[in-house]
Amino acid sequence: MNEPAIKIDGVSVKYRLAKERPKTLQEYIIHRLKGRRMDYEDFWALKDINIEVYKGETLGIIGHNGAGKSTLLKVIAGVLKPTEGNVTVYGKIAPLIELGAGFDMELTGEENIYLNASILGLSRKEINGKFNRIIDFSELAEFIHSPLKNYSSGIVSRLGFSIATEVESDILIIDEILAVGDERFNQKCMKRMTGFREKGSTILFVSHSMDEIKRLCDRVIWLDHGRQKMFGDPYTASSEYLST
């Protein structure tokens, strides 16, 4: 019997957007002093999402930009609270949603390894034991003592991936990070992800590459304007998606 890793029941996320946004602070203050009421409209970033992800399964998440993919990942990771519905997660999550979010660009690569890994829950002793593996995988030994502000965005993401995938987790969240590296390094990342699959980890994988989706994923959820358009076979979902 398949054991659940994640249950998503009727999840919706709503934002309030101003219909007319003041262009300057002065204009905003004048609006307030005159007692003018700002008009808002509701925007549903997600609407009534219902899926169950099994332990050891790789779930692909596809959809055009603005479809709600990153919002869904943030809800699952606990970064964002849903307006409606519930998310139940069985296990520890290692999120790779925003790889640079835990970095300080003024610090060196070495200092950021300790900073970012500690944010992800590793002790200093654990980081010491993984430090050389992180550097070896990222291939950044030559630059590890340089400040991150001197790194390209791709190199920062490479370091982030190397750190996050050293965290022992039951669920791995990956959001489009493979698109920023060179092809050779991307293949290294894919190989590491395959290793996670073989160990029984659950993976949530966002990608615009349908080849990667078909190669890695057991099932796929296709989001369209925040709604669940399809949930099922990756080959069928990819074909339908590419035809739109």
Q: What is the domain-level CATH number for residue 20?
A: 3.40.50.300
Continuous H helices in 79-123 = 109-119
Per-residue pLDDT of the chain (244 residues; tens, 9 = 90+): 589 999 999 999 999 876 666 667 676 666 566 666 666 788 999 999 999 999 999 999 999 999 999 899 999 988 899 999 999 999 888 766 555 567 899 999 999 999 988 888 889 999 999 999 999 999 999 999 999 999 988 888 888 888 888 888 899 888 765 555 577 888 888 888 888 888 889 999 998 889 989 988 999 999 999 999 999 999 999 999 999 8
Range of the domain at 211: 4-242
> How many separate domains does the chain show?
1
Cα torsion 124, 165, 206, 50 to 10°: value is -70
Q: Do the beta carbons of residue 192 and residue 96 sit within 8 Å?
A: no
Of 175, 71, 166, residue with least CA distance to 121: 166
Query: Could you please report the per-residue DSSP string of 153-182?
Result: HHHHHHHHHHHHTTS--SEEEEESGGGSS-
Our CA angle for 198, 202, 208, nearest 5°, is 100
Question: How far, in Å, CA of 98 to CA of 100, rounded?
Answer: 6
Q: What pTM does this model have?
A: 0.81
Contact 48, 115 (CB under 8 A): no
CB 59 within 8 A of CB 205: yes
Contact assessment for residue 185 and residue 160, using Cβ atoms and an 8 Å cutoff: no
